[in-house]
Structure 1
Amino acid sequence: MNKVLIVVGDATETLDTMYPYYRLIEAGFQPVVTAPEKRVYQMVLHEVKPGWTITKEWEGYTIPCDVPFSEVKEEEYAGIMFSGGRAPEYIRYDEDLVRITKHFFATNKPVASVCHGVEIPAYADCVRGRKMATVGKCKFDLEVCGGTFVDEACVIDGNLVSGRTFHDNGHYVGPWIKLLEEARDKAS
């Protein structure tokens, strides 16, 4: 199983998505983009500019969906990545996405989450008792759903690897890919 899901929607953060996408390819995995429907999605760039207290957003690249949530056969995938941006706030209610999310936690397959990505496993009731990193403004989402917020660049809690924002990509993506490689080696 070399396929790994990357969950996106409109306003998914570009660096949150593209960095793990290409790192997966480098490690010999096939990234598969999943979203609410099969079409092209508009990604964004997020940054808190000097002097600002809120996130500024610019249009980023686009990314096509390979398989919509409704057609995902989760048993075919080695792992999953919940990208950040504003998309998780809107797509987390999708029943198929909830089903997919619960599968990866229940089967202990490698899961990665960054920034607002936490909103998906939180809504799916998969963070209870788990430690995670996320962007500070999502601390409430994590804690109200029973998780523990940790303000670090990489938090590993069993099969779950998380980072706060794209600034942490170089810290949490590598350990997540290592979990995927270890699972692949065991299956060989």
Structure 2
Amino acid sequence: MGKRLLFVVGDYVEDYEVMVPFQALAAVGLTVTAVCPGKKAGETVATAIHDFEGQQTYSEKRGHNFALNGTFASVKAEEFDALVIPGGRAPEYLRLDAQVIALVQAFDAAGKPIAAICHGPQLLAAAGVLKGKRCSAYPACRPEVELAGGLYADIPIDGAVTDGLLVTAPAWPAHPAWIAQILTVLGVTVQHG
């Protein structure tokens, strides 16, 4: 397959939204690299576990430490086939980093697939890459998607939506649909044997 995916993460990235897709995409033979601004390969980011427990919004608990296997300062969009942006609280402050914004814009300008889940579209909105595109996100991010010119896809929590090379989903219950659509956009087929 030979596809190379770049995950951009930060402290308090949602645990499931980084761990599960990172491992699942690596398990089918893709090369998956995770980076964080200001950190190097071998360092970690703290994760948060967001759950839906009946309150008006999700709850948050401290998750695992997630090990980075790449160094943000040395990555270039042209070295990767796709960009993946997990959710959690990380996108809300990563969108303030000019280098992160430039990296997202470089993937978009090169016509490469971009996948984002939950609060990940906050970063896409800040990068100005949602105009006219159908995009799902955690419902609380709907105003940002729409203010950025995106068409908010109000889909079930376990659904995902693809618009061209953009693959988005509202939260981690959508992993089966989201990961399947990422693989489809990448042209990767998985054989069951």
Quick check: TM above 0.5? yes
Where in structure 2 are the equivalents of 1:72-91 lying within 5 Å? Answer: 72-91=75-94
Cα distance, 1:69 vs structure 2:
3.1
Q: Map Cα deviations across residues 117-156 of structure 1 (whole Å, 9 max, x no partner).
A: 0011110000111111111100011111110111121111
Moved over 4 A (4+): none
Cα distance, 1:54 vs structure 2:
2.2
Tell me the equivalent position of 2:27: 26
Tell me the equivalent position of 2:147: 144
Cα distance, 1:17 vs structure 2:
0.9
Q: Map Cα deviations across residues 9-45 of structure 1 (whole Å, 9 max, x no partner).
A: 1110011111211121122111100111223100010
Check whether the contact 1:112–1:173 (CA below 8 A) recurs between aligned residues: no
The one-letter amino acid of 1:5's match is L
Give the CA RMSD over aligned residues: 1.3
Q: Greater helix share, 1 or 2?
A: 1
Tell me the equivalent position of 2:52: 48
Tell me the equivalent position of 1:177: 183
Query: What is the distance in 1 between the residues matched to 2:62 and 2:18?
Result: 14
Query: What is the distance in 1 between the residues matched to 2:117 and 2:84?
Result: 8
Which residue, 162, 165, 184 being the options, matches 1:156? 162
Residue 120 of structure 2 aligns to a residue in which SS? Answer: helix
Which runs of 5 or more structure 1 residues have no equivalent in the other structure? 183-188
The one-letter amino acid of 1:151's match is D
Which runs of 5 or more structure 2 residues have no equivalent in the other structure? 189-193
Query: What is the distance in 1 between the residues matched to 2:125 and 2:101?
Result: 10
Cα distance, 1:169 vs structure 2:
0.7
Would the alpha carbon gap of residues 26 and 67 (structure 1) be closer, same or farther in structure 2, given more than 3 Å must change? closer
